[in-house]
């Protein structure tokens, strides 16, 4: 009798393990040759991943804003997003309130969707862009962007203004 229970338990573990492995494998993003998460989606959905402090409400508002603008947003709680930001090249004086990745570019801060669109369309030879701090007129802080926002490009070539609009 104990042998039957043991074999039944072993079989159940095998089936459960296979199911879990299959589920986790299909849920993982694929990495391209540069080690970046793949954003290719056959239905044209724009993919973006955001690492943010779990207590930051403006990051959630910003993610909602991106979703309203056609993005599929993956939110990752990361209290050390600032350290991650610096590790990928965001200038320390240019840190925003979260770090995002879209099509191999890093984006720090509450960058408006039209600037993200320009980044992935133009594909400049940079590591990414940043909108430092938490400007009160940026998406995530304000319902609608007002006034101008100065966004900076960063990469091997240094730091330069990417957008002032």
Report yes or no on whether pTM surpasses 0.75: no
Closest CA to 129 of 98, 151, 113, 149: 151
Residues 123-138 have pLDDT tens digits of 999 999 999 999 999 9
Write the CA distances from 142 to 46, 70, 98, integer angstroms. 23, 19, 16
- Running along the chain, 165 residues long, what does each successive block of 10 average in pLDDT? 42 38 34 40 78 91 95 96 96 95 98 97 98 95 89 96 96
């Amino acid at each position: 009798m104990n042998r039957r229970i043991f074999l039944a338990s072993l079989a159940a573990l095998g089936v459960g393990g296979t199911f879990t492995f299959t589920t986790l494998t299909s849920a993982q993003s694929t990495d391209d040759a540069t080690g970046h998460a793949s954003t290719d989606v056959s239905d044209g959905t724009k993919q973006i991943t955001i690492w943010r402090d779990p207590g930051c409400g403006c990051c959630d508002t910003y993610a909602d804003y991106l979703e309203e603008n056609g993005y599929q947003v993956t939110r990752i709680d990361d209290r050390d997003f600032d350290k991650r930001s610096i590790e990928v090249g965001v200038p320390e004086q240019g840190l925003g309130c979260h770090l995002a990745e879209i099509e191999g570019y890093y984006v720090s801060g509450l960058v408006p969707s039209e600037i993200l669109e320009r980044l992935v369309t133009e594909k400049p030879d940079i590591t990414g862009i940043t909108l430092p701090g938490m400007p009160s007129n940026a998406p995530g802080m304000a319902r609608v962007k007002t006034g101008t926002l100065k966004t900076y490009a960063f990469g091997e070539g240094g730091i330069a203004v990417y957008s002032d609009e």
